[in-house]
Structures are given as C-alpha cells and as structure tokens.
Amino acid sequence: MNVEGLKKIAGEKAAERVKDGMVVGLGTGSTVKYTIMKIGEMVKNGLDIVGVPTSKATERLARKFGIKIGELAEYDSIDLTIDGADEVNKNLELIKGGGGALLREKMVAYYSKYELIVVDERKYREIFGSFPLPVEVVKFGYARTMRKLESLGCKPSLRLEENKAFVTDNGNYIIDCSFGKIENAGDLEKEFNMIPGVVENGLFIGLTNEIIIGSKNGVKVLKSRE
C-alpha cells in the first residue's frame, strides 16, 4: 500500500467513532481529509453531527461534504476531535503544525473530551523531534523572536509560501525550529510559550487519548492508560 492508502485507512477508521448527536472537532491536513470525506458520506446517510473546524481550509472541505459547521465558542466541550500530526511517539506526544493550523488545533484539542489522532506509519518516532517544530509568532518584531528561539538551541526559519512569508488563519507568521532531537518536550512546550511574541507552538503534550496509525499491516492503535 502506498502512503496515500495508509492515510486513507487511518482516516476512515477514525470516522467509525463519530456517533449521532456529537460535536466533532475537525482537524486539518491530508490524512484527516479522509475522515472528513467519510463523515460527509455518513451525513448523507442520515448522521446528525456538528463539526468544529480547526482551519479555514477544513471548514471549506467540511461544507463541501455537507457537514454542519459550528464554532468553538458555542460549546463548553467537544465530544471527539479527529486530527492529524507530523510526528507521534509512544507517550502520545505530538508535533503538529505542518499545515500551519496548530493554534486552532490546540485550542480545539484543549476543549475536547477525546482527542483521536490519525497518521501513517512514517510519522511514528522512537526519537522525537526530527520534524522542525512549528511556532506561531506575531508579525511584530518576529526577527527578534527568531533570534530568541535560536538562543534556546534550535535552527529557526521563517516559513515561506510562494516566496513570501506564510500567514496563518490568525494573521501570524510561522517559524519552523529544527532541533533534530527533543527530549524534554513538556518543558520545551512551556518555555517557548513564555516568550513574548510567541502565540503557540506545535508540541501537543498530554492532550491525546489515542493514535490510529495506518501501516502496511493494517491499522494499529496507541492508547493512553485511563
């Protein structure tokens, strides 16, 4: 099976968890796209849910597939969120933000009763942190913020799109921070967020309940002990 096939089996498996009446957080990216398409099919067959999108792109996709859309602020909690990730490990820690949606994704995850992650097997890591950590920063003084991030041990680079700075749905920039290896993800998440000008970073620690991994041998599941 090719990578696209692995994303599809993971994404579609997660859709099985969606039940009538739920408020469902809809993640962003090319894996969760398969979940959203599957939920769209289920809605056509009578499933009644509200989706809370984590990006403008996901909102467009969900609307295209006939999913009712709600806003985060309308609900005290979200029953289930399904989202992708760029790296996962056995502790259910994640690096997210490859698609630039990390701030909304983390807010939706924070208010979710259950965070379910879908990835293909290439995303699983014994050694965490080879994917550059995305950090969302305000535009004001961003070059200074970058130097501060560098002083904390990474190689930062401003994310570009078509030769211009990439701008998030929230009007901010993304700095991708290469570490090579991250050992103290929980501390790093907090340390980065203490820097003025940093809005959020892509480390998701203690937010995930389960990871569905699409592998050549089928779907594998990693779960937290609850």
Residue 84's nearest CA partner among 133, 31, 135 is 31
27 touches ligand 5RP by CB under 6 A: yes
Q: State whether residue 12 is helix, strand or coil.
A: helix
Residue 25 is a binding residue for ligand 5RP (CB under 6 A): no
Cα angle 174, 179, 181 (rounded to 5 degrees) comes to 135
Which residue of the set 59, 93, 105, 136 is catalytic?
105
Q: Which stretch binds ligand 5RP (CB under 6 A): 44-52, 60-68, 78-86, 216-224?
A: 78-86
Burial environment of residue 194 by CB neighbours within 10 A (0 to 12, 13 to 18, 19 or more):
exposed
Q: Is 28 near ligand 5RP (CB under 6 A)?
A: yes
- DSSP for residue 102: H
Binding segment (CB under 6 A) for ligand 5RP, from list 95-103, 176-184, 187-195, 218-226 = 95-103
Identity of the residue, 142 or 166, whose beta carbon is nearer to ligand 5RP in the bound complex: 166
Which two three-digit tokens encode residue 12?
């579609």
Nearest distance from residue 27's CB to ligand 5RP, in Å?
A: 5
- Would you state the structure tokens that stand for residue 90, as one six-digit string? 């056995």
226/112 Cα distance (integer angstroms):
16
User: Can residue 132 be called a binding residue for ligand 5RP (CB under 6 A)?
Assistant: no
74 is catalytic: no
Q: Where on the chain is the footprint of ligand 5RP (CB under 6 A)?
A: 27-31, 83-86, 96-102, 105
